[in-house]
Structure formats: C-alpha cells, structure tokens
Amino acid sequence: MLIRRPTPLVDRDVTDRRLYLGRREFLRNSAWTLAGTATAASALAACGPSEEASAARESVSARVRPLTDVRPAPPRFRVDDPVTDRTDATSYNNFYELGLGKEDPAENADRLKTEPWSVVVDGEVGRPGRIPLEDLLKPHPLEERIYRLRCVEAWSMVIPWIGIPLADVLARFEPTSKAKYVAFETLLDRENLPGQRRNVLDWPYREGLRIDEAMHPLSLLAVGMYGETLPPQNGAPLRLVVPWKYGFKSIKSIVRIRLQETEPMTSWNESAPNEYGFYANVNPKVSHPRWSQAKERRIGSWSKRPTLPFNGYEEQVASLYTGMNLRKQF
Ligand SMILES: Nc1nc2c(c(=O)[nH]1)N[C@H]1C(S)=C(S)[C@@H](COP(=O)(O)O)O[C@H]1N2
Ligand SMILES: [Mo]
C-alpha cells in the first residue's frame, strides 16, 4: 500500500500543519528554531519571531561573502520585474531539511555544514569522480541571472542569482552517448539537519532533468544571490536553478550529480506522483489536484498575477517539449 506522505504546503496550511503535528512534535519542532538556551515553553509563548530567532538570522550573514568578477546578465537572462527584497528571499524559504515552516530554514541555517564541500559526478561520464567544490567552480566565470522563481504552492519571487551554466560543468565530465538524464542529490546529514529525522520525504532530497533540459542555457548551477554567496537557507554552497519549472526542481545543497540512461526517481514525484510530475514545467492550465495554478502571489506585493506558461520562458524552452502531451507528462 502506498503510504501518503505530506505534500508541499500552501500558506494557509502552515498553521494547520502545526495543529496537526502532535504536541510533542510541535515542541521539538520549535526547539530546533531556537538557540539551546531557550525553553520550548517560551517558544510556544512567543508567536512572532523570537529574539533568539532574530539572532540566529543575523548570524547567517556571517556565512556569506561578496562575490566579485561577476558578468552581468545579458537581456535574455534577465527579467524586467522588480527584484524581490533580499530579506524576503532569505527568510521565506522551502528547505524541508531545515524545517517545514517558511521561516524555519533561516532560523536553522547554522545546522547546514558547508565546509568542506565536494560533489560526486558519476554514472555515464568519461571522467567520474569526487571533486572539491573549489575545483568544480575554478574554470568557470561567474554570471548573474535574474530569474523568476515560481513555487508549486502558487507564490513567486524574482531572484538575482550568481552561478555557472550547468551545461559547461557537465561537459567537463564528458557525458557518454548513454547519458539521457541527470540526477541530483542533496546532502544527507541526519545528525545535523533536523528535517531529515522525520520521514516527510525519503531522504536525501533527489531531483532530475532530461539531458537536453540540463544542457539548456537557462539551467544554472547557482553559488550565490544578491551579489554574495548563497546563504544556507537558499541551498549553500551549490544549488540548481531551472526557472521554467516549479521551484521544487531547483534542488539545494547538491553533493551528487549522476548522469544516467533512465529517468531518475525524484523525491516529490515518489511521494505524490499524481501531484508532482517529473517534468513539473510551470503551466497555468494544469491545476494541482488541490489548487489552481492559474495565478500566483508575488512575494512582497499583495495582488495576484497570472502565471505564465513555462514561467515566462516559453519562447526559450517550448521546443524542448514538441510532441509531448504536457497534461499527461506534467
Ligand atoms: N534539498 C531541497 N531542495 C529544495 C527544497 C527542499 O525542501 N530541499 N525545496 C524546493 C522548493 S519547493 C522551492 S520553491 C525552492 C525554494 O528556493 P528558495 O528557498 O531559495 O526560494 O527550493 C527547492 N529546493
Ligand atoms: Mo516550491
């Protein structure tokens, strides 16, 4: 029998989720978000962001450093919409390894250990191996990309990423003719990542792309945002950004990239295949079984705006899907 796992939350579900979790679970949850000195009781008493949480958030900025020598984004990689406020982009996150609430990842940021960091690149490549992050990045100039990010939960942001085209990185490992798909994995660290002690998903978080999607010039391996290295809550030190797909495809804190012949199993598709497809292209015409995808809330503004096909990147990516039925292969 298929065991139903919880699915990504919409805003209004967050409170419900807290009620639905057992009281002990809730206490444990709250305890993660606070410095060791705070008691769970005080966490329950304080409904707004606690002082401890604010302190934790400030300490996060000590984890980022400025990135220099970044090529500005050419027009086709830069949307004109106003960029989302940095504070919103770094304090309203989905990163279930660091907690289910939107503010949990920023508050738990210090739980993510990012040094040293290396990435295994293996499978259908001529030059497999484990490579330290510095060596992975060294040959590539950094580029800025200002992309829309559309979460499957119907909110969106505009983020100035810094990174390198995924295609350039993959090419160095010499994919074989059997490399039809790329599979990605997030760090597995049950001891430190509080979310991985609960089975909301089958850890580690896994995502995947078809090879032509991975090689598309829009697909970015991001190492920074807003002129600085990525904060932990946004997927330090290395994450994927695929702007024409729902946000859950943009996997954070990557430790493994595997090229393979068959379509990889991905975490959300595995947990609820009728709700989260492998392709997950942003599509206002295909509703999520529990809500419409026709509109979205841009974080930082009140009004809802229409969601664009392929999140506004239709002209650049639609040809990847000619001949496919995007209602069936969602
Ligand atoms: N490892 C991992 N990657 C993840 C997630 C996650 O829970 N774990 N959440 C995804 C979802 S649902 C979204 S919308 C984006 C959010 O990215 P942001 O917090 O940088 O805006 O990250 C994606 N990548
Ligand atoms: Mo998302």
CA of 78 to the centre of ligand 1 (A): 21
Determine the distance separating the centroid of ligand 1 and the alpha carbon of 177, expressed in angstroms.
31
Task: Give the mean pLDDT of 66-70.
Answer: 97
Q: Which helix (H) or strand (E) holds 306?
A: strand 304-306
CA distance 133 to 222: 12
Mean pLDDT over all residues of the chain? Answer: 87
Residues within a 6 A CB radius of ligand 1: 8, 93-97, 149, 151, 186, 205, 234-235, 247-248, 250-253
Instruction: For tokens 């949850």, name the residue.
Output: 29
For residue 54, the model assigns a pLDDT of: 52
Residues 197-221, buried b or exposed e (16+ Cβ, 10 A)?
ebebbebbbbbbbbbebbbbebbbb
Q: What is the pLDDT of residues 180-190, one digit of tens each?
A: 999 999 999 99
What confidence score (pLDDT) does residue 32 get?
36
Please determine, for residue 124, whether its predicted confidence score (pLDDT) is greater than 70.
Answer: yes
Count the Cβ atoms, other than its own, within 10 Å of residue 122.
16
Question: By C-alpha distance, which of 97, 91, 93 is closest to 32?
Answer: 97
How many helices, marked H, and strands, marked E, lie in the chain? 11, 13
Please report the atom of ligand 1 found closest to the CA of residue 93: 19
Which DSSP helix (H) or strand (E) runs through 28? helix 23-32
C-alpha distances out from residue 262 to 186, 265, 277, 329, Å? 20, 9, 16, 16
CATH of domain 49-321: 3.90.420.10
- Report percent pLDDT > 70 for the chain: 82
Q: How large is the average pLDDT for residues 242-257?
A: 98
Position 116 confidence tier, pLDDT thresholds 50, 70, 90 = very high
Q: What is the pTM of this model?
A: 0.85
Where exactly are the structural domains of the chain?
49-321
Mean pLDDT, residues 266-277 taken together: 97
Q: Are 254 and 119 in contact (CB under 8 A)?
A: yes
Does the structure show a pLDDT above 90 at 59?
A: no
Sequence letter at residue 28:
R
